[in-house]
Amino acid sequence: MSTDGTPSRSRRGDAGTTIALLVALVAALLPLLTVIAPGTWTLLCIAGPAALLLAGYLARRWGVPAVAVTLIEVALWILGTTAVFFSDVAWLVVLPTLETIERVPLLLEEAVAAITVGVAPLEATPAVTFLVVGSVGLLVIALDHVVLTARMPLLATVAFMAVWLIPSLAIRSEVDVWAFVLLAAAMLWVIRSDTRSRVRSASAPSPVSGVGVVSAVIATVAIVVAVVAAPTLPQSAATGGVVSGTTIDASLNLGDDLRRPSEVPVVRTWGDTPTPPYLRVATLTRLDGDSWRPDRGRSVTLDEWDGAAPETAEDIRVVEYRTQVEVLDLASATLPVPYPATAIEGVDGAEWVVTPDNRTVRSTGVAAQGQQYEVATTVPRPSLEQARESQATSGGARFASALELPLGMPENIARLAEEVTVDADNDYDRLLALQSWFRGTSFDYSLDAPVEEGFDGSGADAIGDFLEVRSGYCVHFASAFALMARTLDMPSRVVVGFLPGAPTGETADDERVYEATTAQLHAWPEVRFEGIGWVAFEPTKSLGSAQRFIAEDIDPSAPEPSASPAPSASASPSATAGPRADERDPESGSVAGGIDPSKLLPTLGLILGIAALIAAPALARRLRAASRVARVQGGSAGTAWRMVQDSALDLGIEVPAAESPRAFAARLTTEHGADPTALGRLTAAVERASYAAPDERGRPAGESLVADAASVHRSLRDAVSPGRRLAATVLPRSLIVRPGSTFAAATAANA
């Protein structure tokens, strides 16, 4: 026996429930790997909960009261968190000090900033790790209290599903069926383990003070996190509306963004380049499952970066340019820069770091929005003859990942690559043949065909389907080109960024100014050549500038062909953003300088969604009541009594299992102001239905039962405060609490 007189939990089979709870938690956390790159947090999110649950199990086995068990777990959580994240300023490594407490809000602020402006998958910085590990620890303590103390495993499933849904709402991708099956099986195991422990128990434990509060916190946090917190996570597509600034998909899930009905200006550029450059924000070399993953190489701060130009052969001509970039509306933690950058000047903030291998720039907690900076580039300009003499090579183990092919890749990818390039006798001409094939008459640009044909993605299977249907958008063209190049033993990668945009008619520093919008969000492939470096190609049909080096006998200073940033209103569907009107006239519903009605839709949708969320419990309660009224009208005294119990539960009145209908009715009358006449008739009816002989029960009048139940309901509501009546209407407890359960026996104050 425990010190509070309740049976020892270990004798009731809590070991199985504890293990099931840990497995369910781990299963619920699996989708978080798509939001945050694996790191130390992954191990801590398994070891930490395991230690807390083990401590709780051992404490119960030694007879520690339930409330004390929770306090022990909280203490262990504080000590463990201090040891892991603040040991340098802690007393005896594990005891928090004043400086420890002062660091917590700073870390939380840094983590929230990184999440808000970051690009999935986020780097597992110490701040992000602290936020995730700390939150999971608190969740484990609450779940342990609710599942193993309150015996309400169904409520725990709400928290599991909320944790599962957060990455799904942030990263639009296909559901991992096997991971979801694991989660469902783990949740069923939790419920089953708890049920078996109840069967083995000689007697149920008494309700513990505080259980109602903890359960309410879990349910509320689960809903708030799923609806409010999820949109602040690193998004996987550009968004507008209520979100302040555009974010960029770094894993090639661009379909939803490209189908957006409106465009947002993102970046402006001007400089001395012959043609406005493409702007990159991320490179993607590894294809994991159904999507490409952003490269995470060694990074250094901009101040520490030496800016060395990429290695090129001595006879390759190299040209230096300078480009001014002004970011208008980009909330992502990445800077759009031309390639290959060798110097970046004018960036505000010390949080910016550069990855020398791919010349991308990102921040650990600052958005690119509002930045204006100058980028120096050193661009190799080989002749056509030099390009044909160069071989596409991985350069050893350093670029081995650029040759990796996914397992189970469709056979048509390699077969078509071989067929299209069969007449070429060097690597460069093979790639030109692929580029010309994609940009030829065999393919069409379309944002609808991928959805209709079911291959709206960038994985190998989707690319195999794209090569058969031959209709898609930039993601499909770039991914197909990169994979086909790898089948020909050429290292390749995919770049995400922006096309140069369109001229604004303005000038800055005597140079034409170009502006790119969300319509110019784009993906293109690159292939690495020995002595030249990474060379960009443009396979997307009718978009941008096709790759071509000029022959030696042509003036190298001649202007290069201009990029085609987006289609005109009359163009065929060929731009990354699809066919859209660049401007709206007054007849279309939007006046220049006025408010675009389409931009109000997200806000209106959010308001309606919140209103629907608030009204949902009351509506569900009313629908259930209407269903029960129909049964009561048929003469069901038991259903009428259940309506009385639900009314009591909604108002915070105890409905314990051990109380008889007559005792319950007496308490409602004397303590809660229930109508004694109506309640007396209902009590007699339910007792007759429960205990009278079948031939003596009779069938009470349904209309009388309905009227009596309604009278009791009104009298109970009239006896409580307006605040209690409002809470009973908006958040009816009877939707999740059953009469006779632990929560139904809690006091009104705890409820």
- Tens digit of each residue's pLDDT (9 = 90 or more) over 675-689: 888 888 888 888 888
Provide the mean pLDDT of the chain.
77
Per DSSP (E only), the strands in 509-640 are: 511-517, 521-529, 533-536
**Residue-range domains of the chain with CATH:** 9-232 (no CATH), 255-585 (3.10.620.30), 610-735 (no CATH)
Q: What is the pLDDT of residue 748?
A: 41
Please give the residue that has the higher pLDDT: either 12 or 461: 461
Q: Could you tell me the pLDDT band of residue 477, with boundaries at 50, 70 and 90?
A: very high
Which region among 296-305, 417-426, 555-564 has the lowest average model confidence (pLDDT)?
555-564
Q: Could you tell me the pLDDT band of residue 106, with boundaries at 50, 70 and 90?
A: confident
Angle of CA points 252, 257, 259, to nearest 5°: 120
Query: Across residues 287-315, what is the average pLDDT?
Result: 82
Please give the residue that has the higher pLDDT: either 704 or 569: 704
Q: List 527's β-bridge partners, or say none.
A: 492, 535
| Cβ contact 634:702 at 8 Å | yes
Query: Across residues 431-447, what is the average pLDDT?
Result: 90
- Predicted confidence (pLDDT) at residue 411 exceeds the cutoff of 70: yes
Which region among 134-148, 533-547, 595-609 has the lowest average model confidence (pLDDT)?
595-609
User: Could you read off the pLDDT of 166-199 as tens digits, one per residue?
Assistant: 776 655 555 567 777 777 787 787 777 656 555 4
| 740 SS3 class | coil
Which region among 110-119, 159-168, 734-743 has the lowest average model confidence (pLDDT)?
110-119
Q: What is the pLDDT of residue 480?
A: 92
- Predicted confidence (pLDDT) at residue 531 exceeds the cutoff of 60: yes
| Cβ contact 95:82 at 8 Å | yes
Q: List 319's β-bridge partners, or say none.
A: 379
User: Could you read off the pLDDT of 266-277 as tens digits, one per residue?
Assistant: 899 999 988 889
Percent of the chain with pLDDT over 70: 74
User: Could you read off the pLDDT of 631-669 as tens digits, one per residue?
Assistant: 888 888 888 888 888 888 888 888 887 788 888 889 888
Taking the alpha carbons of 64, 68, 74, 76 in that order, is the dihedral positive or negative? negative
As to burial, measured by CB atoms within 10 angstroms (0-12 exposed, 13-18 middle, 19+ buried), residue 748 is: middle
Whether the bond between 579 and the residue before it is cis, its omega within 30 degrees of 0, is no
Please give the residue that has the higher pLDDT: either 212 or 298: 298
Phi, psi (deg, nearest 5) at residue 403: -110, -5
User: Could you read off the pLDDT of 332-374 as tens digits, one per residue?
Assistant: 778 899 999 999 998 887 678 898 888 888 887 677 888 899 9
Written as six digits, the tokens of 46 are 């398994």
Q: What is the pLDDT of residue 574?
A: 35
Q: Could you tell me the pLDDT band of residue 453, with boundaries at 50, 70 and 90?
A: low
Q: Which residues of 624-646 are buried (b: 16+ CB within 10 A; e: fewer)?
A: ebeebbebbeebbbebbbbbbbb
| Cβ contact 442:425 at 8 Å | no
Q: Could you tell me the pLDDT band of residue 432, with boundaries at 50, 70 and 90?
A: very high
Please give the residue that has the higher pLDDT: either 311 or 746: 311
Query: Across residues 104-126, what is the average pLDDT?
Result: 75
User: Could you read off the pLDDT of 484-501 as tens digits, one per residue?
Assistant: 999 999 999 999 989 988
Task: List all residues 6 or more positions away from 738 whose beta carbon is below 8 Å from its beta carbon.
Answer: 744
- Predicted confidence (pLDDT) at residue 581 exceeds the cutoff of 50: no
Phi, psi (deg, nearest 5) at residue 224: -65, -40
User: Could you read off the pLDDT of 152-168 as tens digits, one per residue?
Assistant: 777 777 777 777 777 76
Q: What is the pLDDT of residue 563?
A: 44
- Predicted confidence (pLDDT) at residue 117 exceeds the cutoff of 60: no
Q: Could you tell me the pLDDT band of residue 205, with boundaries at 50, 70 and 90?
A: very low
Strands 444-445 and 471-472: parallel
| Cβ contact 724:651 at 8 Å | yes
How far apart CA 710 and CA 344 sit, in angstroms, is 74
Whether the bond between 121 and the residue before it is cis, its omega within 30 degrees of 0, is yes
Report if pTM > 0.85. Answer: no
- Predicted confidence (pLDDT) at residue 558 exceeds the cutoff of 60: no
| Cβ contact 361:325 at 8 Å | no
- Predicted confidence (pLDDT) at residue 706 exceeds the cutoff of 60: yes
Whether the bond between 661 and the residue before it is cis, its omega within 30 degrees of 0, is no
